[in-house]
A and B are shown apart, each in its own frame.
Chain A
Amino acid sequence: MTDIATTPPAGANPGIDAGSALHTSDAARRRLKARYAAEARFKFFGIAAVVTAGFFLVLLMSTIVGQALPAFISHQVTIPVELTQETLDPNNEGESALRRANYDAILRDGIRSLYPFATSRDDQRTVSGLISTGSAVRLREAVLADPEGMMGQTSFTVPVDDVADLYFKDQVSDERRLETTGIASPTGTEGEIQVLSTANDFRDILADVKEFLGEQAESVQRELSAKERSIERAQLDLESFQTRLPNVEESRRAFFEEQIEILERGLVSLDRDITNLTEELADLRQRSQTAGAEEVLSTQLPSIFVEINGGVVKATRISATGIAGEVFLPLASTADAAAGDWSIREIVLPERNRKLDDRSLIYLDQLLDQDRVERTINTVFFTSGASREAELAGIWGAVVGSFFTMVVTLLLAFPLGVAAAIYLEEFAPKNKLTQLIEVNINNLAAVPSIVFGLLGLAVFLNVFGMPRSAPIVGGMVLALMTLPTIIIASRAALRAVPPSIREGALGVGASKLQTVLHHVLPLAMPGILTGTIIGMAQALGETAPLLMIGMVAFIVDVPTTPLDPATVMPVQIFMWADFPEALFRQKTSAAILVLLAFLIAMNALAVILRKRFERRW
């Protein structure tokens, strides 16, 4: 429309002035250029839309694959154990004693024997925390499965704790190691010692720490301004409530008063926060700006270790030429170490911001040095059920739950759907009732899945009293949800069979039912199966209705029948996604990959079926 305005008048009667160079004039050419620019823009939008969709897919998949891959690997540690008659079954009672034996203690003693220097309670607790808490159950099962074989064994392999697993996968923190140029001399081999170098070996790292303090000051500054903003907002809210309070009707007064009280309390705590933050900010600024001055290392700063004479010292204070700190691994001697024979190690992420504390980290290194750590394919993930411990959680329980659910869904939805499609397509008279059924099916296909969950809850669980969390109920709900998809696909497949086939069969004296069952249905079967598989794939990925019927419960055991409480893969993903542990996040992604693998397999099957048996009439 806009280009009309730029056009010069084309004569009194341009419409039929055929001879003129109306379309070849300069004005027309200019207009054309603008029109082509619009064309290019339009096409660009189209390309951009497709690229956007592709970009999201790539982003989604790469994120999930990147997260998932580490979860397929796990680390195990072999620790010495004392499995003797005395520790397991001192009174020779046989199996019942084996059941009761204190496997926790056996494992605890085993791992502690690797760290003889860890004598304090805290250190010992750190040591026993290195292995998974589920280890004892594993050991017990191994002993019960083969008492004779296990008796006398001196070592046992157990999974490491989830954060330890992450550490072995290098996912806890960046770290760096600094070369040294001076001769270092430690003042002791245990406890609080100092390590002093003859050169300025710690200068760079000290500068790093100062820089870090500066960054921290900035983030505190941001937090402070956010708090100040909230305090302003809260004050405004408070004022508005207070001014409205006198005029408010009686029934709402209590609510207003409550709100005012909440706001007032909030203001007090905000005030306190601001005071604290202001102090903290001043301190941080001051420390970061005094270059070269000695610095106290807190858990909010990167951790610095000195490795010297076979031991490890964790720095608590640092200057340009030396550190003071605590010995984590005892030193062999107090001898001087030449340049290059000792090193400085920095774990960049502050201790407070990670799950793995400094001492555990050093202890884990010890396990690595002793060659006790084994890197394997994560079989636990594929073979066990759910667990609160990230390193013990597996997808198998959910896979089995999904399998039972899908079997129930298929057994119900397929026969019902095909039968309904046959009736509606081949036999139903065109009347109000069949019309009602058809409208119904189309509408049912558009009903949100969660509503089916409500139906399952209200009818299957509450009216029929069926068990909660059971795959059979999940399967029934999903069957009702999948039914419209299967009916619609089956009807399309039946419709695609040409009437000549029916006429042929009727012509040789088959009854109508025989015609359909013997001739039409077999020809439509590939289409019906394709539709069914697609419907089943939808059902396999469905989560919301299953939440309603309690399949979200935490279930450790792998179900053995469709009546056992179970969960399914998408729900498992939903539950794991909620856990804060990093390893759970990885397992969530891994579970998504497993689910997608199933879905891709099903869809591929549908495509093959379609390609293989597709018939053009």
Chain B
Amino acid sequence: MFWLLFLALVVLFVASLYIGAQRSRQVAGPSTQVLHSRPSYHGGYLAIMTVLPALGVLILWSIAQGPIMDMMVLGQFAEDVAAMSLPAQEAFLRDARALAFGGIVSFPDELKEAAAEIYANMRTISLIAMVVVMVALVVFGFRSAYANILPQQRTRHFVERAVMLLLIACSVVAVITTVGIVLSLIFESLRFFTMIPIHNFLFGLHWSPQSAFAGAGEVVDANPEVFGAIPLIVGTLFITFIAMLVAGPVGLFAAIYLSDYASKPVRAIAKPVLEVLAGIPTVVYGFFAALIVAPFIRNTGEGFGLDVSSESALAAGVVMGIMIIPFVSSLSDDVISAVPQSLRDGSLALGSTKSETIRRVVLPAALPGIVSAMILAISRAIGETMIVVMAAGLAANLTINPLEAVTTVTVQIVTLLVGDQEFDSAKTLAAFALGLFLFCVTLTLNFIALRVVQKYREQYD
């Protein structure tokens, strides 16, 4: 229904564009020169005045109608509902809605059917009311705007202001997204921290939320002992560390070689190679890690008589490092290339070799940029999900042996949220607490990287 009405409004919009333009030509008489604004602006004016208010009503009404109906149904069945627990209430409403509007009903009963009837009635009433309001707004808007199409009417200003508002609204979407992320993470995390004390989460050494509950579904007091995030954080940092051991030197040296040594043909091959590495989806890296690298490390290790987990931190770390190589190299390449040629000339003219020039003049000058590139790479590695989901372990071992399995924050978020969820169990909410942690860490790293570069700009520009 929503889309049908929306489509109707679109048709109305196009029609009013045309009618408005025609009307302005009509009032202008033989020459459109007398118009302050071109006919198309009059059309735009008419279209906006006709459709916009109704569109607003349509959207707001559609969003608000669900919760309001739920509230009214709950009000109707207050005494029946009072006995129910919160999940049971939700199930009651869900089933009643499904009965009324179609969908999969788990356990129909009489109460739910009664509620369903109310739902169906309310929806019909609500629909009729909404359409009436919309039609009224359309008619009113159209009539008043139509009468207002006059030669001296500054409709261009109106239309341009409207477009400007639209542009502003679009740029605010990014802010809304951030606010949405922050609010949803904080909101769910707060719910989590009411069940599990925050210090248990941040400083606990034991993580096994799967064992947190006696039985499935039943809300039991969660055992705060099993929500210690330290093993995850250590595991994440450890894999990131291994990844940076690979990506840091390789990426940096590749950037140096490409910017200062490589001949044109070499660059013509090497740059696309790095770009392709950067463009490969992470799930492919994960597959590669699980299929090739992990068994290889395991077999090699066993050849030396070592116990190697098939989900070793080393395998995940190395492959993540490969993934980050192009990230490091392209950022470093940018900052190394940005070091002015005059500094290189000055050093070469003193009789230094190329490597001396790079090590002692270019790199120190580019250092802040390189540091920020590395920080961004670390932030990227911390937030990376698929490689670790596919190649790192699930068990939260607190270890720094690269041959053992460790788990990471992102792996646990995926594990906790994939599959069926109860949206008020500590297990599910723990994922949001981990998400909040992840968000804060990457944001901080990003912020530091930005500050480092800014400081560097102030100093040498």
Give residues in A with beta carbon < 8 Å to B.
23, 35-36, 38-39, 41-43, 45-50, 52-54, 56-57, 59-60, 63-64, 67, 222, 225-226, 229, 255, 415-417, 419-420, 422-424, 427-428, 436-437, 440-444, 446-452, 454-455, 457-459, 462, 464-465, 480, 483-484, 487, 511, 513, 537, 540-544, 547-548, 552, 570-571, 573-574, 577, 585, 588-589, 592, 595-596, 599, 603
Contacts and interface: CB of A to CB of B under 8 A. Distances in A.
A543 B385 contact: yes
A35 B170 contact: no
Interface stretch (B48-56, B145-153, B212-220, B435-443): B435-443
Contacts of A588: 287
Given A59-B292, A446-B379, A511-B156, A573 B287 contact: yes
A458 B283 contact: no
Contacts of B277: 53, 56-57
Contact of B288 (A63, A255, A462): A63
A223 B326 CA distance: 41
B254 interface: yes
B359 interface: yes
A543 B181 contact: no
Interface string B158-173: 0010011011101111
A589 B432 CA distance: 33
Interface string B183-197: 011011000000000
B251 A36 contact: no
Given A444-B177, A585-B291, A599-B279, A50 B184 contact: no
A427 B166 CA distance: 12
Interface in B278-319: 279-288, 290-292, 302, 305, 307
Contacts of A428: 171
A34 B356 CA distance: 12
A573 B284 contact: yes
Contact of B254 (A46, A67, A449): A46
Contacts of B140: none
A36 B281 CA distance: 41
B426 interface: no
Nearest to A40: B355
B253 A46 contact: yes
Contacts of A36: 353
B1 interface: no
A573 B288 CA distance: 12
B256 interface: yes
B435 A454 contact: yes
A423 B326 CA distance: 32
B450 interface: yes
Given A50-B258, A577-B286, A448 B386 contact: no
Given A255-B225, A423-B168, A56 B442 contact: no
Interface stretch (B9-17, B77-85, B394-402, B409-417): B409-417
Interface stretch (B24-32, B115-123, B125-133, B268-276): B268-276
B170 A416 contact: yes
A18 B451 CA distance: 46
Given A446-B376, A537-B279, A541-B282, A458 B414 contact: no
Contacts of A446: 376, 379-380, 442-443, 446
A56 B322 contact: yes
A404 to B, nearest CB: 15
Contacts of B418: 547-548, 552
Contacts of B270: 50, 53-54
Contacts of A573: 283-284, 287
A603 B435 CA distance: 31
A592 B305 CA distance: 35
5 contacts: A427-B167, A447-B442, A447-B443, A541-B281, A544-B385
Contacts of B184: 454-455, 458-459
B337 to A, nearest CB: 15
A46 B256 contact: yes
B178 A450 contact: no
B166 to A, nearest CB: 7
Nearest to B258: A50
B57 interface: no
Contacts, number: 256
Contacts of A544: 282, 385-386, 389, 410, 414
A543 B225 contact: no
Q: Which 3 A-B pairs have the closest CB atoms?
A: A448-B383, A46-B257, A541-B281
A23 B350 CA distance: 12
Given A447-B442, A462-B423, 17 more contacts: A35-B356, A46-B254, A49-B251, A50-B254, A50-B273, A53-B329, A56-B325, A225-B305, A419-B166, A419-B167, A419-B170, A447-B439, A450-B413, A454-B184, A487-B171, A540-B281, A547-B418
B250 A64 contact: no
Given A427-B167, A448-B382, A53 B282 contact: no
**Interface of A (DSSP majority class):** helix
Interface string B417-455: 110000100000001100100110011001100100000
Contact of A440 (B164, B174, B274, B322): B174
A443 B446 contact: yes
Nearest to A32: B353
Contact of A570 (B66, B281, B329): B281
Listed residue (B288, B354, B390) with the most chain A CB atoms within 10 angstroms of its CB: B288
A480 B325 CA distance: 26
Given A42-B359, A419-B170, A443-B178, A603 B279 contact: yes
B175 A57 contact: no
A420 B167 contact: yes
A35 B383 CA distance: 42
B139 to A, nearest CB: 29
A54 B285 CA distance: 15
A484 B173 CA distance: 10
B70 to A, nearest CB: 10
Nearest to B156: A511
B273 A574 contact: no
Contacts of B187: 458
Nearest to B206: A255
A487 B177 CA distance: 14
B108 interface: no
B180 interface: yes
B283 A447 contact: no
Contact of B450 (A49, A415, A442, A457): A442
B202 to A, nearest CB: 18
A520 to B, nearest CB: 13
B408 to A, nearest CB: 11
B335 to A, nearest CB: 16
B435 A511 contact: no
A574 B284 CA distance: 8
Contact of B173 (A229, A483, A543): A483
B353 A39 contact: yes
Contact of A596 (B280, B390, B442): B280
A49 B167 contact: no
A67 B443 CA distance: 39
B265 interface: no
Contact of A599 (B281, B354, B356): B281
A420 B174 contact: yes
B358 interface: yes
Contacts of B95: none
Contacts of A417: 170
A229 B305 CA distance: 11
Contacts of A67: 291
A576 to B, nearest CB: 9
B69 to A, nearest CB: 12
A491 to B, nearest CB: 11
A543 B281 CA distance: 8
Given A440-B174, A448-B384, A455-B180, A53 B307 contact: no
A454 B325 CA distance: 27
B75 interface: no
Contacts of B166: 419
B351 interface: yes
